[in-house]
């Protein structure tokens, strides 16, 4: 569907504290460099670069203060432009909290959200310390009040669907069942977008925001993901759901939904380009390029 370019705001949001994973800072910036040139305004949410210092645990959430400040800055930038559409390039998954909350307000609480992710992101500080895994719960008006209260109009559970979701923990499953959140796994979407298109028809929604967590992709096929981190013990991520979709399947799915609904937001999160980061660090240590004077 066509839209007016200057009504689309692009946010570069290199937030890394939500998952306490410093490489997201570089990953977001590289993602912005790789993305097609923006045809409208671009804003950069200020995020402090990792400095090697440990992040504080504040009332059950790691880096609570920094994350809330970044959330406020993101919302201020959005409100300055009052865009019709938003593109968010992150950073960890929490980057979509302010943008999607804004879009649901703009579209009178009727926004539909397709959450393309291997994980449900509805956990609370009672069971986890990292806010990037709480973002969808916050958008639904749940979880930690400091974050959930920034969502003036919570999403309707019926207007949310997961694509690519894998196994969930018992506490997450309970939340999904209580809220009645729809889901289609990688196998259901391997050759068709029908489950998602059916959901969209049932919602009657005219506007859609898409959260694309790159960890929905199979780490054996796309390596710039948390689960493809090199030089770590083989059992590091045992018991944690990993993505199983191919890139072409995701592209097909999102193209299909864009044919039937007005896509007003997309956030791309959790880009971890390990090889590029290794090369960046290597170049910084070479003669004439890095700190060496020889």
SS3 for 176-245, per residue? HHHHCCEEECCCCCCCCCHHHHHHHHHHCCCEEEEEEEHHHECCCCCCCCHHHCCCCCCCCCCCCCCCCE
Q: What is the pLDDT of residues 152-192, one digit of tens each?
A: 999 999 999 999 999 899 999 999 999 999 999 999 999 99
Mean pLDDT of 130-139: 98
pLDDT at 75: 98
Q: What is the pLDDT of residues 44-54, one digit of tens each?
A: 999 999 999 99
Give CA separation, 255 vs 6, 8, 186, 191, 263, in Å: 22, 18, 17, 14, 10
Burial zone of 143 (CB within 10 Å; 0-12 exposed, 13-18 middle, 19+ buried): buried
Checking if the pLDDT of 7 tops 80, the result is yes
pLDDT level of residue 294 (50, 70, 90 thresholds): very low
pLDDT at 270: 98
CA distance 31 to 199: 30
Q: Give me the chain's average pLDDT, please.
A: 96
DSSP code of residue 103: H
pLDDT at 140: 98
- Quickly tell me which residue has 């196998």 as its tokens: 187
CA distance 219 to 225: 6
pLDDT at 1: 43
Checking if the pLDDT of 134 tops 50, the result is yes
pLDDT at 27: 98
Checking if the pLDDT of 131 tops 60, the result is yes
Architecture of the domain defined by 5-283: 3-Layer(aba) Sandwich (3.40)
Give CA separation, 251 vs 30, 188, 189, 247, 279, in Å: 20, 15, 12, 6, 28
The closest of 196, 157, 187, 159 to 175, measured between CA atoms, is 157
Cα Rg, the chain, nearest whole Å = 19
Domain residue ranges of the chain, discontinuous segments joined by +:
5-283
The closest of 145, 136, 13 to 75, measured between CA atoms, is 13
pLDDT level of residue 2 (50, 70, 90 thresholds): very low
CA distance 128 to 148: 16
**Do 163 and 184 form a contact (C-beta atoms < 8 A)?**
yes
Q: What is the pLDDT of residues 209-245, one digit of tens each?
A: 999 999 999 999 999 999 999 999 999 999 999 999 9
Mean pLDDT of 241-260: 98
pLDDT at 291: 72
Give CA separation, 259 vs 2, 115, 165, 184, 207, in Å: 11, 18, 23, 19, 12
Q: What is the pLDDT of residues 74-89, one digit of tens each?
A: 999 999 999 999 999 9
pLDDT at 6: 65
pLDDT at 5: 52
Percent of the chain exceeding pLDDT 70 equals 97
3-class secondary structure, 65: helix
């Amino acid at each position: 569907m066509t839209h007016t370019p200057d009504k689309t705001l692009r946010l570069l949001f290199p937030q890394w504290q939500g998952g306490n994973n410093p490489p997201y800072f570089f990953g977001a910036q590289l993602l912005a460099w790789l993305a097609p040139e923006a045809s409208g305004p671009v804003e950069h949410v200020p995020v402090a670069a990792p400095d090697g210092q440990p992040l504080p645990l504040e009332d059950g959430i790691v880096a609570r203060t920094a994350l809330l400040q970044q959330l406020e800055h993101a919302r201020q930038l959005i409100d300055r432009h009052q865009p019709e559409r938003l593109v968010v390039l992150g950073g960890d998954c929490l980057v979509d909290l302010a943008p999607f909350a804004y879009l649901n307000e703009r579209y009178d609480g009727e926004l539909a959200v397709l959450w393309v992710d291997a994980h449900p992101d509805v956990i609370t500080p009672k069971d986890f310390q990292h806010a990037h895994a709480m973002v969808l719960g916050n958008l639904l008006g749940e979880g930690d009040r400091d974050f959930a209260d920034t969502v003036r109009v919570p999403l309707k559970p019926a207007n949310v669907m997961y694509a690519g979701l894998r196994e969930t923990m018992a506490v997450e499953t309970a939340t999904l069942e209580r809220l009645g959140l729809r889901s289609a796994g990688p196998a259901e979407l391997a050759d068709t977008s029908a489950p998602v298109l059916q959901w969209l028809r049932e919602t009657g929604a005219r506007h859609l925001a898409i959260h694309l967590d790159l960890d929905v992709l199979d780490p054996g096929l796309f390596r710039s993901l948390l689960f493809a981190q090199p030089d770590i013990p083989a059992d590091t991520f045992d018991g944690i759901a990993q993505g199983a979709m191919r890139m072409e399947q995701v592209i097909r799915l999102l193209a299909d939904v864009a044919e039937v609904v007005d896509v007003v937001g997309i956030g791309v999160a959790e880009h971890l380009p390990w090889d590029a980061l290794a090369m960046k660090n290597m170049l910084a240590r070479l003669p004439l390029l890095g700190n060496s004077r020889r």
